[in-house]
């Protein structure tokens, strides 16, 4: 049965395909674009700068994970100093996150060229980190207007980055099942996205991976995240953990908690992963892809889990399955040890 729903679809132009980045200059309107790029994308940013000619205000290649507030300030100062009025972000979620921090105050459009599977390119969520806490917000200005998915740029992504990043994309599909703004359409995208990600990981097919990431980002950009994302943000901010790897370790445990709240959708998503049980299907996919399943493998000391237990329990307000302090501690302990659900 399909109940009543409201699906709020933002207007984003999605361009997908090999070679699309090399044609990007032709897509861009007349502005002074600043190209923000990650360290591995310096050559690509340079090519774009050359093609844009006078329409390029320069490149900015200083990118750090979780966008420290000092870096956001330097980026904003640079943007103003070079007289830019548009942003192209080429790189992973960290490069896109920096572009969002600049766009938030400069109120200018972003064109995103993601080179990982982080999904940030399709959301209106921005965030900077200061004093060990990631502060996020939502503003339509920072949602990229055009997103270019070019598998030529992700072809060389090393497996140790690609696998956790794909698990991050899978988290968008999974967490969307119980997100507040989920609709039958976001669930459809989530199931299709999960299947593409599984095919991509199992077959080392980078086009399927990027396609699955696009569907995951699309789902997440409409439905938003749930408990899983709130936990990962807390852990990332408190312990400076790498984003995608944290998702990979936490997701099976949150899926085990929440699957009962959406049993039919969870079963569809599990089937897309080729599994009978969603949480075990996620865990096994992470394992066989060589991704992270235990927070302890990220260098986090077990004693430190206690620092975030109360925040994790508080973050569960509104979650379809209750999570009190002891249950939060148990969930974190399982994610830390990497226990199969």
Q: Give the tokens for residue 252.
A: 């099976």
Residue with the two structure tokens 């790029």: 37
How far apart are alpha carbons 242 and 138 in whole angstroms?
Answer: 22
Q: Give the tokens for residue 30.
A: 């007349």
Rank residues 86 and 224 by Cβ distance to ligand NAD and give the closer one: 224
Rank residues 244 and 266 by Cβ distance to ligand NAD and give the closer one: 244
Rank residues 161 and 328 by Cβ distance to ligand NAD and give the closer one: 161
In the complex, minimum distance from the CB of residue 288 to ligand NAD, in angstroms, rounded to a whole number:
20
Residue numbers of the site for ligand NAD (CB under 6 A)? Answer: 38-40, 65-66, 91-95, 97, 115-116, 118-120, 123, 125, 127, 153-154, 156-157, 161, 165, 168, 243-244
In the complex, minimum distance from the CB of residue 161 to ligand NAD, in angstroms, rounded to a whole number:
5
In the complex, minimum distance from the CB of residue 273 to ligand NAD, in angstroms, rounded to a whole number:
21
Helix (H) or strand (E) segment spanning residue 239: helix 227-239
Rank residues 62 and 85 by Cβ distance to ligand NAD and give the closer one: 62
Hey, how many other C-beta atoms are within 10 angstroms of the C-beta on 243?
A: 24
In the complex, minimum distance from the CB of residue 281 to ligand NAD, in angstroms, rounded to a whole number:
22
Mapped onto helix, strand or coil, the DSSP state of residue 314 is: helix
Say which residues have a Cβ less than 8 Å from residue 1's Cβ, sequence separation at least 6. none
In the complex, minimum distance from the CB of residue 92 to ligand NAD, in angstroms, rounded to a whole number:
2
Rank residues 31 and 229 by Cβ distance to ligand NAD and give the closer one: 229
Rank residues 123 and 291 by Cβ distance to ligand NAD and give the closer one: 123
Q: Give the tokens for residue 334.
A: 């399982």
Rank residues 165 and 208 by Cβ distance to ligand NAD and give the closer one: 165
Pair 275, 284: CB distance under 8 Å: yes
Say which residues have a Cβ less than 8 Å from residue 3's Cβ, sequence separation at least 6. none
Rank residues 9 and 39 by Cβ distance to ligand NAD and give the closer one: 39
Counting other chains too, the contacts that 313-319 makes at CB distance below 8 Å and 24 or more residues apart are: 315/227, 315/230, 315/231, 315/234, 316/227, 316/230, 318/180, 319/178, 319/226, 319/227, 319/258
Q: Give the tokens for residue 72.
A: 């956001």
In the complex, minimum distance from the CB of residue 225 to ligand NAD, in angstroms, rounded to a whole number:
8
In the complex, minimum distance from the CB of residue 97 to ligand NAD, in angstroms, rounded to a whole number:
5
Nearest to residue 93, comparing CAs of 177, 178, 199, 217? 217
Q: How far, CA to CA in Å, does 273 sit from each of 30, 197, 198?
A: 44, 9, 6
Q: How far, CA to CA in Å, does 272 sit from each of 195, 266, 332?
A: 5, 10, 27
Residue with the two structure tokens 């030529």: 152
């Amino acid at each position: 049965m399909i109940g009543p729903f409201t699906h709020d679809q933002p207007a984003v132009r999605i361009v997908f395909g090999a070679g699309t980045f090399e044609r990007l200059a032709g897509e861009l309107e007349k502005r002074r674009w600043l190209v923000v790029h990650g360290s591995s994308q310096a050559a690509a940013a340079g090519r774009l700068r050359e093609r844009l000619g006078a329409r390029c205000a320069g490149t900015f290649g200083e990118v750090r994970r979780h966008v420290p507030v000092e870096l956001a300030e330097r980026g904003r100062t640079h943007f103003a100093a070079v007289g830019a009025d548009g942003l192209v972000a080429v790189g992973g979620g960290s490069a896109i996150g920096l572009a969002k921090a600049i766009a938030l105050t400069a109120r200018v459009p972003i064109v995103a060229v993601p080179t990982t599977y982080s999904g940030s390119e399709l959301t209106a969520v921005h965030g900077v980190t200061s004093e060990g806490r990631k502060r996020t917000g939502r503003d339509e200005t920072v949602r990229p207007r055009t997103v270019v998915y070019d598998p030529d740029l992700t072809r060389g992504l090393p497996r140790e980055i690609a696998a956790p990043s794909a698990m991050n994309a899978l988290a968008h599909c999974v967490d969307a099942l119980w997100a507040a703004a989920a609709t039958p359409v976001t669930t459809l995208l989530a199931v299709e996205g999960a299947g593409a990600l599984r095919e991509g990981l199992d077959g080392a097919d980078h086009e399927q991976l990027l396609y699955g990431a696009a569907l995951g980002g699309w789902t997440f950009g409409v439905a938003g995240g749930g408990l899983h994302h709130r936990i990962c943000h807390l852990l990332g901010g408190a312990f400076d953990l790498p984003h995608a790897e944290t998702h990979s370790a936490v997701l099976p445990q949150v899926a085990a908690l929440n699957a009962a709240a959406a049993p039919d959708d969870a079963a569809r998503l599990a089937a897309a992963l080729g599994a009978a049980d969603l949480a075990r299907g996620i865990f096994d996919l992470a394992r066989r892809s060589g991704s992270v399943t235990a927070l302890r493998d990220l260098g986090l000391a077990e004693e430190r889990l206690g620092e975030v237990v109360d925040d994790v329990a508080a973050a569960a307000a509104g979650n379809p399955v209750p999570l009190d302090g002891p249950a939060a501690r148990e969930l974190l302990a399982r994610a830390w040890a990497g226990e199969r659900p």
